[in-house]
Structure 1
Amino acid sequence: MTSLHPTASLQHRADELLRLHTSAEILSVVNVWDVVSAKAIADISETTALATASHSIAALFGYEDGEQIPVDLMIDMVGRIAAATDLPVSADLEAGYGAPGETVRKAIDVGVVGANLEDQMKPLADSVAAVAEVVAAGQAEGVNFVLNARTDAFLRAGSRPLDDVIADAIERGRAFLDAGAACVFVPGKLDADTVARLVEGIGPQRISVIGVPGSLRPSTLEKLGVARISYGPWSQRVALTALADLAISLYGDGTLPDNARALN
């Protein structure tokens, strides 16, 4: 397939995305799920990059999360988002939809320069092979693709001792970096001590976290050496909560708020 974006332009965006990850200033990305949400976030002066949320895009089309959405439908939407902005775009590509390298090649072809890739706590060798496959796909397309390799060590921890979970996350994170990932995504509600131990084990400006209700503030994470914070499905949930609350108000004889902005 012929790329819709010149390689030089893609590489410039990839370089910028990598720079944002390695800067001492934390990269905050408020996840988007379609073109209108992408434009609304991109138009905010503080926005330096965009990241999609797979859960939110799946929900947009009526699918459950967990690679239930057809891969080409996901690629079509992340491509529409990438085409709507000059900012670098990182896509949440779940576990690669059964073919991580090919999925990333398709994403690059529509203008995406980075991605999340879940390990789902599969055997470490298999997870490392998937990371290497993605890195190789970027190199084959002439782009230094910025892979945010995700480990689900905390999400699938169950009742395991915290020390064991942290050790797993560090082992996997180091292996993913050695295979060419730019950053290691460790989702979960993490306290300051846990984050500090992860940064010590994986490296400063090498871990990415998710913001959930009750999470540490970005400024605290920045001081701890975290590279990036994203918000997954929570940005869409907040937007939908506002929509539902508006409907409740209007059904109750309310009126439209005066502060609504024409963002669409």
Structure 2
Amino acid sequence: MTRAIVETLRTLHGGAKTQDHGGVLVLANAWDALSARLVEEEGAAAIATGSAAVAWARGYRDGEDLPLEELVGAARSIARVAKPAVTVDFERGYAAEPALVASNVARLVDVGVAGINLEDEAKSADLLGEKIAAVRRRFGADIFINARTCVVLHGKVDQTQGVEEVLARARVFAEAGADGLFVPGLVDRAAIQAVARGTSLPLNVMLFPGLPTLTELASLGVRRLSIGPWLAELAYASARRAARALLRDGSYDAIFGGSPLAYPEVNALFPAAPTPTEQS
């Protein structure tokens, strides 16, 4: 991972109309190397992971139940095959102590990660501010830090009445060195616009029912859209339907009628391993 890749990621948050979405960076969150390659092939300008789907794919619940070593391994496998910048949902950084969070982030940077999400605590933004500052001191401009506040998502504040709380937290994050502001749970147009106008940080929202269209989001000032676990949930729902039809009804219809990706197409998404001659 180079600084140029990180700077490209920053540029993608600047509203440049390079993706036919009015300047909104659209992230179809991946959870493994194959899903990352699929969204890359469909034109993703950057690859983002979502903590829930990454954890589920490895047999854990969301919420830092996934061991750090396994998360780093997942990030490594994605960064190895994906050309765009990779940004990882790092939840609370796998530590309470800011210096330890910075050390944990170093493990992601070492495997090629260009950006991270870091999440706040319900009662205060201060600890996340300290974590952001520690990461920024260690890496300078060589990491994109997307500061996530869950005060709306977790119901601490009503989205239409809690704009000031969100903006107060955003100021803490910006002063600490954050590059972006992630506010999952915002779907109200007026609230989205008020937050976008009230912060110097590029605003990231998350896909939920009722979210305005991409064109509307762009006009409201949004610069990044994450879809969270929706792609993974769709993939798993399709797999469950096919398994149910096969195991309960003895039917292959849900498999062949679902237009599965062909083996050669999937295999070709990955580079061939070097031959012994190429390795020497």
TM-based fold match above 0.5: yes
142, 146, 149: which one aligns with 1:148: 146
Shift of 1:152: 1.0
19, 32, 50: which one aligns with 2:11: 19
Deviates more, 1:84-93 or 1:119-128: 119-128
- The one-letter amino acid of 1:238's match is L
Deviates more, 1:143-152 or 1:121-130: 121-130
Name the TM-score, length of structure 2 as normaliser.
0.84
Shift of 1:96: 0.1
Q: Where does the alignment leave 5 or more consecutive residues of structure 1 unmatched?
A: 1-8
Task: Tell whether 2:149 aligns with 1:119.
Answer: no
Q: Distance in 2 between matches of 1:161 and 1:212?
A: 16
1:90–1:113 CA contact under 8 A, matched in 2 = yes
Q: Distance in 2 between matches of 1:106 and 1:38?
A: 20
Name the residue aligned to 2:108: 107
Q: Distance in 1 between matches of 2:80 and 2:139?
A: 19
Name the residue aligned to 1:132: 133
In structure 2, the CA distance between the partners of 1:247 and 1:114, relative to structure 1 (3 Å rule), is same
Q: Distance in 1 between matches of 2:150 and 2:180?
A: 14
In structure 2, the CA distance between the partners of 1:47 and 1:214, relative to structure 1 (3 Å rule), is same
Q: Where does the alignment leave 5 or more consecutive residues of structure 2 unmatched?
A: 17-22, 267-280
Name the residue aligned to 1:42: 40
- 1:71-128 per-residue CA deviation (whole Å, 9 max, x = no partner) reads 1110111111011111100000000000321121111000001010000324332221
1:90-105 to structure 2, matched below 5 A, reads 90-98=87-95, 99-105=100-106
Deviates more, 1:210-219 or 1:110-119: 210-219
Of structures 1 and 2, the larger Rg is shown by 2
1:54–1:93 CA contact under 8 A, matched in 2 = yes
In structure 2, the CA distance between the partners of 1:215 and 1:163, relative to structure 1 (3 Å rule), is closer
Q: Distance in 2 between matches of 1:248 and 1:39?
A: 28
Q: Distance in 2 between matches of 1:196 and 1:258?
A: 40
Name the residue aligned to 2:218: 222
Name the residue aligned to 1:53: 50
1:104–1:137 CA contact under 8 A, matched in 2 = no
- 1:191-215 per-residue CA deviation (whole Å, 9 max, x = no partner) reads 1111011111114x61101012332
Shift of 1:40: 1.1
The alignment of Structure 1 onto Structure 2 pairs a total of residues equal to: 250
Task: Tell whether 2:233 aligns with 1:240.
Answer: no
1:108–1:138 CA contact under 8 A, matched in 2 = no
2:159–2:188 CA contact under 8 A, matched in 1 = no
Tell me: higher relative CO, structure 1 or 2? Use CA pairs within 8 A at least 6 residues apart.
1
Shift of 1:66: 0.8
- 1:198-239 per-residue CA deviation (whole Å, 9 max, x = no partner) reads 111114x61101012332222211111111001111111111
Shift of 1:246: 2.3
Q: Distance in 2 between matches of 1:164 and 1:130?
A: 27
Indicate the SS of the match to 2:162.
helix
Q: Distance in 2 between matches of 1:15 and 1:110?
A: 18
Q: Distance in 2 between matches of 1:235 and 1:118?
A: 22
In structure 2, the CA distance between the partners of 1:26 and 1:161, relative to structure 1 (3 Å rule), is closer
Once superposed, which parts of structure 1, at least 4 consecutive aligned residues long, lie more than 3 Å away? 160-164, 248-252
- 1:162-183 per-residue CA deviation (whole Å, 9 max, x = no partner) reads 4552111111112211211111
Q: What is the percent sequence identity of the aligned residues?
A: 30
2:160–2:190 CA contact under 8 A, matched in 1 = no
Indicate the SS of the match to 2:132.
helix
RMSD in angstroms over aligned alpha carbons?
1.8
Indicate the SS of the match to 2:117.
strand
Shift of 1:187: 0.5
Q: Distance in 2 between matches of 1:52 and 1:70?
A: 16
